[in-house]
Structure 1
Amino acid sequence: MIFGRIKPVDAIIRTAEKKALVRSLGLGQLVLLGVGATIGTGIFVLTAAAAQKAGPGMLLSFVIAGSICALAALCYSELAAMVPVSGSAYTYSYAVIGELLAWMVGWALVLEYAVSASAVSVGWSGYFMGLLESITGFALPQALSRGPVWSMNGVLPSLDFSHGVINLPAFLIALAVTSLLVLGTRESARFNAIFVVVKIAALTAFIALTIPVLDTGNFSPFAPNGWFGTGGAHGFGIVGAAASIFFAYIGFDAVSTAAEETKNPQRNVPLALIGSLAICTVFYVAVAAGAIGAMGAQPVPGPDGAAVMPGSAGFVEACLLPANREALVCSNEALAHVLRAINWPVVGNALGLIANLALPSVVLMMMYGQTRIFFVMARDGLLPEKLARIHPRFGTPHVVTMVTGVFVATVAAVLPIGQLADISNSGTLFAFFMVAVAVLVLRIREPGRKRPFRVPFVWIVAPASIGGCLFLFANLPVDAQLVLPIWGGIGLIIYFLYGYRRSHVGRGLAEIHERDADARPHLKDIA
């Protein structure tokens, strides 16, 4: 039976130990990894999209999304401490719920990591073009700096190329990061931790410069689109913004993918998960308050006066009006734009430069995360082992990296950041949902198993995490909701055509001797 294909926790741990990755990451490195993977496009760019949906009420959106992430982090912590191996939610689901649902979780994680990398690439593009124009006055034509506008026309998407054709900078940065991952990642090791510190310093400077000029009048009206949108609009309001801004937090689960390379993972993984999430939440709320107070964050209405979704044709047209061009919600480089607006242009340009330097490291982490998920799925026989083939010279999984890179670059070239974030969220919410379910199932099935970290009040926290994920998913835009079942359907076809027959568990192989697992670049090389 499909649902009976469960790989026992002990077998998973033995499998990983056959070719175990070097346990070299300490607590400090893990926290830096979580903060570095989390603080990125979400706060640097999505602040504008959240303001378009919720206005100043996006402050509560950050709190709602962070609270639901905290519940998920607790569930992740229990499983990561029990099963300290690579694979994140995919591995946990395999150990508890079975192969089919584990495959679906792994397939959803592919959607999370790949589309996240595309979104960060688009975010980098906005800051790059903004900095270039601010310093030199040069700007790429819209046809080369913005992708087409996508909208749903019945069951099929329609494209509007009148405001853009391809986001060339986003396309090129994704390919550049792909090349770095193929050639080797040791060269970036010394810079990534520095980038984390620099990003935190930049956000601290932003807070210090905006809070003194805070105008409480900019917080009114606080919720112009209400809690759930007005006039029947779906995906708007404080809750709709929370569903989108959830993207700003999802990097924290990259910590759990590093469990196999962590010293004392039973202690350090839970602490790093919760610690990195707490640090990011404090910064997000403070930065959002500074941006709102400094220049306001009211949504711009569409041509008919109704609320318009960020990235839509109506939104683009509204932002082209002279009265709206300087609005926060219309900026592709929100934080730098705020600093320039309050007469700190040099600091604004410096922040833009920092974003240009730091965001590619987030792209790298997201793409690396996907190759790790592919690697573990191939290790279990659910994908061809050739996908994890190691390059004889560079020592990297070049095949899966190049496939991932082309996909990421193509998607980044044609979709706006708001849609990319919502699509990524749909996959992430499904994975978080399954992790919370797995915690409850394992508590019932194996109550006596050693749990180095236990979710407190598990029968409240885990169901709350499940309900929170469903709640945010229900408030995503409809097109983002539709992506998950379509993507899942494609995954099921692949599973039944290949994975079901080739699965090691299905063939009775309890342990797998992975070839060249120790030849893969370790996460410490990019963390």
Structure 2
Amino acid sequence: MLLDRVKPLDAILATAKKKALKRTLGPIQLMLFGIGCIIGTGIFVLTAAGAQKAGPGLMLAFVIAGLVCIVAALCYAEIASMIPVAGSAYTYSYATMGEFLAWTVGWALILEYAIAASAVSVGWSGYFAGTILNEFLGIELPQWLAAGPLALGGEPGGFINLPAMVIALLVTWLLMIGTSESARVNAVLVAIKVAALTIFIALTFTSPEFDVDKFNPFLPAGVFGGFGTGVGAVGAAATIFFAYVGFDAVSTAAEETKNPQRNVPIGLVGSLLFCTLFYILVAAGAVGTIGGQPIMGPGGIPFPAGSEELALQCAMPQYAAALVCSDEALAHVLRQIGFSGVGNMLGIAAFFALPSVILVLLFAQTRIFFVMSRDGLLPEGLSKVHPKWNTPYVVTAITGAIVAAGAAFFPVGQLADIANAGTLYAFLMVAVAVMLLRRSDPGRKRDFRTPALWLVGPATIFGCAFLFLNLPTEAMLVLPVWSLIGLVVYFGYSRRHSHLGRGIVEVHEPEYAEVEPGIPGVGHHEAS
């Protein structure tokens, strides 16, 4: 039987009881924590890709993605308060649906974290090349070194995105030798990001260039472009879902929250509503000043974001200043309306803030790898801890190499779509796990109970599946292909070596977690 191996929840919770945490967080603290985790890469680098898919309807796309996140977050909050241990959706699935489905979730998370780190690296590269090199140093990086073969914006025919590859390898090296970021530094970076976006909103809305006529037509590609097309407001929502990922960090804090039944939903929904409003204002400021209409292809359908066809169009002089052709969209908007200095400062903010997100993503990916290895599903040699650095250097090096390769050769829009495919699958499975636990273990202590689960649970499943089906076909296909590779690994190695299958049910926290207390993102990520 494929679904016969379910890890005992009591065994998992035994670990959590050894590490009981003091309840100190209130609703405002939770909300601020969520805002810090959510606002990140997505809004800095995906504004152009979203506009190419939906035009000014990008604002509606943020609403659609935000609503899916709210219902998913409420499901996450209940199960995170019940099972506050490492492994995130992988561990939750193991305790409810068994080893086989847990393997598929963990395998998808490995893909998600790695591809998301690649996407952030490409986003950082745009700000590095545009702001640091071009604007400050007067150096224009050759196209063949600044972009992969199908990079968004500029002339097609790039060979490798060298800055993206270098930053991915540098962060990997830092993570291998044990460098951690402190909560204080992270708080400063969050403040920089929020301040930069607030200034952007103020300058664009008060600019003489702002004109409501630039919002027409509002939905040039319609609301629903069709399954697999990746266009329209829903298609854009499937891409910019990446801008919200990180909200599950709030749900994992349920164990440390005072009155979690009241404060967790306030923190979750409050931070998501704040960020949605923030994102809508940023999108409105960008579109209202320099316009945000997509470049249309045959049949009145926008060229795919990140495609060679779009790159050819963006190489033409008439589109040189277009929002959809920029790889540092927000800084580009400010330069176009006469605020080059402020635009450069925003570019610098992204330049300094984004590497910390790459670090969090790589750390979270290795944590999933580590937990799966400790369960016997992956070779323990992959998570070997370095005797001097006290980090899982083997799996970190392998992950870093894969992340660097993805960053070097793929555009940010395509990478975000692929990362979202894995994320949406994991969120869907969490909703299923919550509903199964309500039925199979109704008496279990829950610090937070999802309100109206009969509605919220199915809404999460439908919302995640609907956004998944609105990703571009290529992005949708990556997940099943990756899953097939995972099935070969599972039946060829993992099922035979599984600790649970061999009667071993102890639950261990990764040893190196104690060595890296300053790195946020354990069990969650800050991809946005």
Tell me the TM-score normalized by structure 2: 0.91
Contact 2:228 2:470 in 1 (8 A): no
Out of 324, 329, 332, which is 2:319 matched to?
A: 324
Q: Could you tell which deviates more after superposition, 87-96 or 279-288?
A: 279-288
Please tell me the residue identity of whatever aligns with 1:343.
G
Q: 2:343 aligned with 1:354, yes or no?
A: no
Task: Return the match for 1:447 from 438, 442, 467.
Answer: 442
Distance 1:101 1:432, change over 3 A: same
Aligned residues: 515
Q: Structure 1: give runs of 5+ residues left out of the alignment.
A: 152-160
Please list the CA deviations of residues 262-320 of structure 1 after superposition, one character each: whole Å capped at 9, or x if unmatched: 57796776665444433322221111111111211011134886520111111001101
Residue ranges of structure 2 left out of the alignment (5+ in a row):
523-528
Q: Answer yes or no: is the 8 Å Cα contact 1:61–1:238 preserved in 2.
A: yes
Give the aligned partner of residue 154 of structure 1: none
CA RMSD of aligned residues (A): 2.6
Aligned partner of 1:185 in structure 2 is 179
Structure 2 match to 1:411:
406
Distance 1:184-1:414 versus aligned 2 partners, 3 A rule: same
- Partner residue of 2:113? 113
Q: Residues 127 and 347 of structure 2 are in contact (CA less than 8 Å); yes or no, is this contact kept in structure 1?
A: yes
Whichever residue aligns with residue 225 of structure 2, its letter is G
1:400 and 2:406 matched: no
Tell me the secondary structure at the aligned position of residue 239 of structure 1: helix
TM-superposed CA distance for 1:196, in Å, is: 0.5
Q: State the match for 1:142 in structure 2.
A: 143
**Contact preservation (8 Å) 2:363, 2:521:** no
Cα distance in 2 for partners of 1:280, 1:433 equals 22
Offset at residue 4 of structure 1 (A): 1.4
| 1:370-429 deviations in Å (ceiling 9; x for gaps) | 111112212222122233322222222222211111111111100101100110011011
Please report how far the alpha carbon of residue 514 of structure 1 lies from its aligned counterpart in structure 2 after TM superposition: 5.7
Aligned residue among 474, 484, 493 for 1:479: 474
Offset, 1:517: 5.0
Q: How big is the shift at 1:349? A: 0.3
Greater shift after overlay, 508-517 or 445-454?
508-517
The aligned residue for residue 225 of structure 2 is 229
Q: Between the two proteins, what is the percent identity of the paired residues? A: 58
Matched, 1:288 2:287: no
Report what 2:159 is aligned to: 165
1:468 is aligned to: 463
Cα distance, 1:66 vs structure 2: 0.6
Corresponding residue for 1:206?
Answer: 200
In the TM superposition, 1:370-409 aligns within 5 A as: 370-409=365-404
What is the distance in 2 between the residues matched to 1:516 and 1:233? Answer: 42
For residue 439 of structure 1, report the CA deviation from its aligned partner: 1.1
Aligned mates of 1:351, 1:150 — CA distance in 2: 22
Match of 1:340 among 335, 343, 359: 335
Q: Is the 8 A contact 1:390 1:520 kept in 2?
A: no
For residue 484 of structure 1, what is the amino acid of its counterpart?
L
| Matched-pair contact (CA < 8 Å) for 1:233–1:307 | no
Residue 195 (1) aligns with residue 182 (2): no
Deviation of 1:104 (Å): 0.5
Question: Would the alpha carbon gap of residues 512 and 83 (structure 1) be closer, same or farther in structure 2, given more than 3 Å must change?
Answer: closer
- The answer on whether the counterparts of 1:303 and 1:318 sit within 8 Å (CA) in structure 2 is no
Structure-2 change in CA distance of 1:23 and 1:426 (3 Å) = farther
Q: Residue 24 and residue 504 in structure 1: after superposition, are their counterparts in 2 closer, same or farther (change >3 A)?
A: farther
State the match for 1:157 in structure 2: none
Q: Is the 2:24–2:258 Cα contact (8 Å) retained in structure 1?
A: no
The Cα of 1:112 is off from its aligned counterpart by 1.2
1:49 alignment counterpart: 49
Per-residue CA shift, 1:328-347, capped at 9, x if unaligned? 11001100011111111110
Name the SS for the 1:76 alignment partner. Answer: helix
1:266–1:372 Cα change, 3 Å: farther
User: Is the counterpart of residue 504 in structure 1 residue 505 in structure 2?
Assistant: no
TM-superposition CA deviations, 1:173-228 (whole Å, max 9, x none): 00111111112233555422110111001011111111123311111110111112
Cα pair distance change 1:378/1:291, threshold 3 Å: same
CA distance in 1, matches of 2:95, 2:191: 37
The 3-state SS of whatever aligns with 1:251 is: coil
Q: 417, 429, 436: which one pairs with 1:434?
A: 429
My pick for the range that moved more, 31-40 or 391-400, is 31-40
Q: Is the 8 A contact 1:68 1:468 kept in 2?
A: yes
Which residue among 206, 210, 217 is the counterpart of 2:213? 217
262-271 vs 465-474, which moves further = 262-271
CA displacement at 1:149 relative to structure 2: 2.2
Do the aligned partners of residues 431 and 521 (structure 1) sit closer, same or farther apart at CA in structure 2, a change above 3 Å counting? Answer: same
Rounded to whole Å, the distance in 1 between the matches of 2:33 and 2:368 is 17
Choose 28-37 or 98-107, whichever is displaced more. 28-37
TM-score normalized with structure 1 length:
0.91
Q: Decide whether the 8 Å contact of 2:376 with 2:499 is kept in 1.
A: yes
Indicate conservation of the 8 Å contact 1:82/1:266, yes or no. no
* Matched residue, 2:86: 86
Residue 361 to residue 495, structure 1, CA distance change in 2 (3 Å): same
**2:101 paired with 1:101:** yes
Which residue of the partner structure matches residue 156 of structure 1? Answer: none
- Counterpart residue identity of residue 201, structure 2: I
> How do 1:149-160 residues align onto structure 2 when only pairs under 5 Å count?
149=150
Alpha carbons 1:88, 1:253 under 8 Å: kept:
no
- Post-superposition CA distance 1:226-269 (Å, at most 9, x none): 11238x98111111111111111112234556778x57796776
2:308 equivalent among 304, 308, 313: 313
Distance 1:434 1:526, change over 3 A: closer
Q: Distance in 2 between matches of 1:514 and 1:37?
A: 24
SS of the equivalent of 1:402 reads helix
Deviation at 1:40, TM superposition (A): 2.0
Q: For 1:226, what is the secondary structure of its paired residue?
A: coil
Cα 1:270–1:363 change in 2 (3 A) is: farther
Whichever residue aligns with residue 53 of structure 1, its letter is K
In the TM superposition, 1:264-283 aligns within 5 A as 272-283=267-278
Instruction: Give the drift of 1:108.
Output: 0.7
Correspondence for 2:526: none
Equivalent position SS for 1:4: coil
